[in-house]
Amino acid sequence: MTDSLALLQARLGYTFRDPAHLESALTHRSMGPTHNERLEFLGDSIVNFVVAEALFQKYGEAREGKLTRMRAALVRGQSLSELARRLQLGEALRLGSGERKSGGRRRDSILADAMEAVIGAIYLDGGMNACQTCIGAWFEADLDRVNPDQVEKDPKTALQEWLQRERHPLPSYVVMEVTGPAHQQAFRVHCVVDALAQVTEGTGMSRRDAEQVAAQRALELLQGG
CA distances from 137 to 67, 141, 156, 195 (A): 19, 8, 27, 40
Q: Is 44 a catalytic residue?
A: yes
Phi-psi region at 203: left, alpha or beta (left = phi > 0; alpha = psi -120 to 50)? beta
Q: Is 125 a catalytic residue?
A: no
Burial 78-89 (b: 16+ CB within 10 A, else e): ebbbbbbeebeb
Question: Which of these is catalytic: 44, 154, 209, 211?
Answer: 44
Cβ within 8 Å of residue 67, ≥6 positions away: 52, 55, 56, 59, 148
Residues 98 and 94: their CA atoms lie apart, in Å, by 12
Question: Which of these is catalytic: 40, 108, 113, 116?
Answer: 116
Under a CB-based contact definition with an 8 Å cutoff, are residues 13 and 137 in contact? yes
Output the CA torsion sign for 169, 146, 203, 30: negative
Residues 31 and 92: their CA atoms lie apart, in Å, by 14
Indicate which residues carry an active-site annotation. 44, 116
